[in-house]
Amino acid sequence: MSQKNLDPKNDLLKEIEFYLVTDSGLSNKGTLSDVKEAVEAGCKIVQYREKDKSTKEMICEASEIKRICGDRAIFLVNDRIDVALAVDADGVHIGQDDMPIETARKLLGTDKIIGLSVYNIDEAIEAEKSGADYIGLGPIFDTATKKDAGDGIGPGKIREVKKAIKIPVVAIGGINKENCESVIQNGADSLVAISAVVCSDDVKRETKIFIDIIRGIKKE
């Protein structure tokens, strides 16, 4: 069993800094290229999010992403627990309308990571009680990446949520280089910036910029 799957998962997740979520529809160079460049830049967690491919295609691509991540990055699959099980991913990220955490945990086992998307404090508290290893809080700012995301809740909400729970908080939604400092300053353990990275012609460079910004603020 690799070190990244061992408890305490909470401590591992607090070290992730920049969190890559793939998006084949937005990607300028392709999902596998994005993952490779991000991991080379020092990205410590990758979530494979794919809505348009067949299960067979997803399993093949997920297998390759797992190989790229190796021991350098935690590898999670969005929504598709069957795909995560098929490739022995490090865990999954699920939404409020997906499979209940308790059921996902029974299927995946205790050593896998489960993240849950939340929109407010009540959902964050419930996520922790249900056994989530971390939450994805957002959208922090208005975003066009996910059409059903809702209005941005603002970076100030991160601080409120951090005070209410102990598990790590990953901020997502409309985050870019211009506003990411406020996200970390308000207590996010890490952040997701999808279009700001995968739409770039140099994912490695953009990922490194975010990592440097996050590290700089955390050292203050």
Residue spans of the domains in the chain: they are 3-219
Residues 108 and 48: their CA atoms lie apart, in Å, by 17
Topology of the domain covering 3-219:
TIM Barrel (3.20.20)
Given a cut of 70, whether residue 1 has pLDDT beyond it is no
The full DSSP string for 164-199 is: H-SS-EEE-SS--TTTHHHHHHTT-SEE--SHHHHT
Q: pLDDT tens digit string along 123-146? A: 999 999 999 999 999 999 998 766
69, HSE (Cβ side, Cα atoms, 13 Å) = 26
Catalytic annotation on 117? Answer: yes
Catalytic residue among 9, 49, 112, 162: 49
> What is the predicted pLDDT for the residue at 147?
63
Catalytic residue among 4, 36, 80, 146: 146
pLDDT-derived band of residue 4, with 50, 70 and 90 as boundaries?
Answer: very low
- Mean pLDDT for the stretch of residues 187-205: 97
Buried b (16+ CB within 10 A) or exposed e, 95-120: eeebbebeebbeebeeebbbbbbbbe
Catalytic residue among 4, 27, 117, 208: 117
> What is the predicted pLDDT for the residue at 7?
52
Model confidence pTM above 0.85 = yes
Residues 103 and 105: their CA atoms lie apart, in Å, by 5
Catalytic annotation on 146? Answer: yes
